[in-house]
Structure 1
């Protein structure tokens, strides 16, 4: 009896350990520990089982192709490309592999720190605090040239005068690398060689290198983005939500709306052109919620803000960087009649989870679908702006036509005396 029972328990344990998709014996195998771990995790955790056949067929093809190129130089790069192509076959957001030579690796490690908590001290000794050497900017490659796509507000790059749209030519006379260009240089300055105009002469800007903690850096950027634009006797507030994943980003904005820099403005521009999503699903309540604003006043000590709601006009900025939690934020604004200015959002609303792979790279997998009111899916669709405005990046010299259009729309609302609180129906394209 005991032997039979042991066999039953062993069989049950093996079944529990098998991936939820194809049986372990049927999974493609490359012999590469990283690739094989990606295949196993996706088959076990990816939320949509209907996509696994295509994923596994792609893996088989890529494994066959890699086998033909492994004797050649650069085989690691070929395996990386095969992994990326296999993950891309899922055709869904919140799936990707990130290596420690990218800013995204560190930012996602901080965002998913609970999911990878058992690896944090080993990856980021001694205390598991995620940091990286940098200057606070993100770039985008167009053709064979690299341009600054984002400059974090309050960062060393912003302080030094680096602008969105600047072409980066070199860092200390070497090609730009997101992490490697700044390793070993914390506390020093680097020379960033830039071109601001297509036919302009290059200039060199000295930028201080800091050890940047990802989420605190983004929280600082949110706080430093807050501004008041005065135009024709009107005061327009502005704030950029780089992410909703920071611990106190929303609280900072709430305090500024209640009795800070934004408390006396006539309207607020909410910039959702973010870096990452995350955050609470009800974040938009700050601007469209019906509950009253109130604070708790103790006998001793300082009052505490318990609930803040902005009642004035709002205009929101969106683009392909508006994803995940920020995309849900944008949708909540839209159905409450808030004008959206810019470009269609990413169409990336799933729930992701992170896993550390054998080479210490990070794998994100979409582990849950996300549906709004049981019939609206933003994943793969996105949200179209009410006022479409492009933002040409190359050599923009910091000019932001989307923000300019948002200011114009706010001035129109204020001139009309509109509170823009008209509930809007869901966009037809969003309904499956």
Structure 2
């Protein structure tokens, strides 16, 4: 063995012996691989360096309070990661596990960031999907209530309404993914309670394989309606997310040549699920560029850009976040009335990373500033017409949408 080889071997051996000892002495290392990887990703990528001192202190505290290692029960690891992420006090920051709908929806939205793992995570073709019925439920007053029903979904077809209390699925407690696993193509019995104190109702709901971004596009398209009131045609569309590739194009086609073409006014519902999307999305309603079409020799026209010139009213709540929140801000600054409640105050740019257990970590990697110094993070956008919404036992009633409709009628009547 020559001297160069001996030198390399000695250096390698020294590193092999020393690195574990150095890691063991690092107060930010716990020995629990999922926790440690989450900590490393935040330190390397979180946009706000001033928050990292508080973050590091919380990491040390979590390790000191209950030491973590490779054999630590998962519930303790989950609690520790949640605690250190919460210390950042930032939106677009969280850990998502594959027993939640959010995991699959964000995996599809951030599919480019995790592209090298898609086929392994979602065999055989790498298409993100999950078994479900198109319903989101959230806790309130000690029970679970339906907060969202995606337009066109099996849940809608079965008659599930926002505000329904979810009691069970096939006789067992409701779980977002687990209740429907291995049941695609079958129906499940979803027991709900529609009004307080009434007997439960059992609804048969078909379970489908849901592909998140495609589902959002379908939900946007299926949300389109036209209501006739006082001789006026009032259009409505719900933007569930701006992240769906064809979402805005669907709206543009409906405005230019579809069901909304002859509407006298339009209600744009920004009570979404996720934001994302292009920062100029609101140009569809407030832009100055004229409508532009490309017309072939056979007369077939292709829309290059569409601009809606008639009255608009928008609905907002805490579901308007990220890109949808900027959308709401752009509408408001252009004089379009907003109805509902304050938006989420969640306007940062996030990126997703896979952790060693295949859970998904979202980290806020960039600040977002509007103009010179306007930040919506932590503040949100206030409605011009505040309208409260109480979720439990709403039975499908939607006071915010009703108020938006009344506002549109006032505008069209010249009031």
TM over 0.5: yes
Contact 1:285–1:309 (8 Å) recurs in 2: yes
1:31 to 2:31 alignment: yes
Q: Pick from 117, 123, 126 the counterpart of residue 125 of structure 1.
A: 123
Q: Deviations over 1:23-43 (max 9, x none)?
A: 997561111100000000000
Find the aligned partners of 2:145 and 2:64 in 1 and give their Cα distance. Answer: 36
User: Residue 32 of structure 2 contacts residue 68 of structure 2 at CA under 8 Å; is this kept in 1?
Assistant: no
> Is the 8 Å Cα contact of residues 265 and 311 (structure 2) preserved in structure 1?
yes
- Quickly say closer, same or farther: Cα 1:81–1:288, change in 2 above 3 A: same
Q: Which residue of 2 aligns with 1:259?
A: 257
- Residue number in structure 2 paired with 1:429: none
Q: Which residue of 2 aligns with 1:407?
A: 405
Cα deviations by residue, 1:257-277 (Å, 9 ceiling, x for unpaired): 111100111100000000000
Contact 1:196 1:397 in 2 (8 A): yes
Measure the CA separation in 2 of the matches of 1:121 and 1:68. 31
- 1:246-325 to 2 correspondence within 5 Å? 246-300=244-298, 302-325=300-323
How far off is 1:144 after superposition? 2.2
2:87 to 78, 86, 89: 89
For the 8 Å contact 1:239–1:270, the answer to whether it is kept is yes
Q: Give 1:65 deviation, angstroms.
A: 2.2
Whole-angstrom CA distance in 2 between matches of 1:182 and 1:59? 36
Q: Which residue of 2 aligns with 1:17?
A: none
Cα RMSD of the aligned pairs, angstroms, is: 2.1
CA spacing shift, 1:66–1:42, aligned 2, 3 Å: same
Structure 1 residue 301, shift from structure 2 partner: 7.1
**Which has the higher mean CA deviation after the structures are superposed, 298-307 or 237-246?**
298-307
Q: For the structure 1 residues 25 and 280, does the alpha-carbon distance in structure 2 shift closer, same or farther, using more than 3 Å as the test? A: farther
Describe the shift of the 1:376–1:24 C-alpha distance in structure 2 as closer, same or farther (beyond 3 A): farther
Question: Aligned partners of 2:189 and 2:256: how far apart in 1?
Answer: 41
Secondary structure, aligned partner of 2:190: strand
1:353-390 CA-to-partner distances (Å, cap 9, x unmatched) read 00000000000000000000021000111011000001
Tell me which residue corresponds to 1:428: none
SS of the residue aligned with 2:413? helix
* Residue of 137, 155, 158 corresponding to 2:156: 158
CA distance in 2, matches of 1:28, 1:384: 40
Distance 1:275 1:24, change over 3 A: farther
CA distance in 2, matches of 1:105, 1:148: 18
Q: 2:332 aligns with which of 324, 331, 334?
A: 334
Cross-structure match for 1:20: none
**Cα displacement (A) at 1:66:** 2.6
In 2, the alpha carbon distance for the partners of 1:76 and 1:366 equals 24
Equivalent-residue separation in structure 2 for 1:39 and 1:323 (angstroms): 25
Aligned pairs, number: 398
Query: Structure 1 residue runs of 4+, over 4 Å off?
Result: 23-27, 68-71
2:374 matches 1:367: no
Cα deviations by residue, 1:154-207 (Å, 9 ceiling, x for unpaired): 000001000000000000000000000000000000000000001111000000
Deviates more, 1:296-305 or 1:407-416: 296-305
Give the whole-Å Cα distance in 2 for the aligned partners of 1:239 and 1:183: 31
Equivalent residue number for residue 394 of structure 1: 392
Note if contact 2:68-2:77 (Cα within 8 Å) is conserved in structure 1.
no
Contact 1:134 1:179 in 2 (8 A): yes
> What are the residue-to-residue correspondences of 1:57-68 with 2, within 5 Å?
57-67=57-67
- Verify the 8 A CA contact 2:32 2:69 in the aligned structure 1: no
- After TM superposition, the score normalised by the length of structure 1 is 0.89
Report what 2:18 is aligned to. Answer: none
| CA shift for structure 1 position 312 | 0.5
Contact kept in structure 1, 2:30 and 2:69, CA below 8 Å: no
Q: Deviations over 1:212-257 (max 9, x none)?
A: 0000001100000000011111110000000000011101110111
Residue 314 of structure 2 aligns to a residue whose secondary structure is strand
User: 2: CA distance between counterparts of 1:293 and 1:69?
Assistant: 60
Asked if 1 retains the 8 angstrom alpha-carbon contact of 2:30 and 2:68, the reply is: no
Deviation at 1:303, TM superposition (A): 1.4
Aligned match of 2:228: 230
| Matched position secondary structure for 1:416 | coil
Task: Rate the CA distance shift 1:402–1:321 in 2: closer, same or farther, 3 A.
Answer: same
Maintained 8 Å contact 1:66/1:82: no
> How much has 1:298 moved relative to structure 2?
1.2
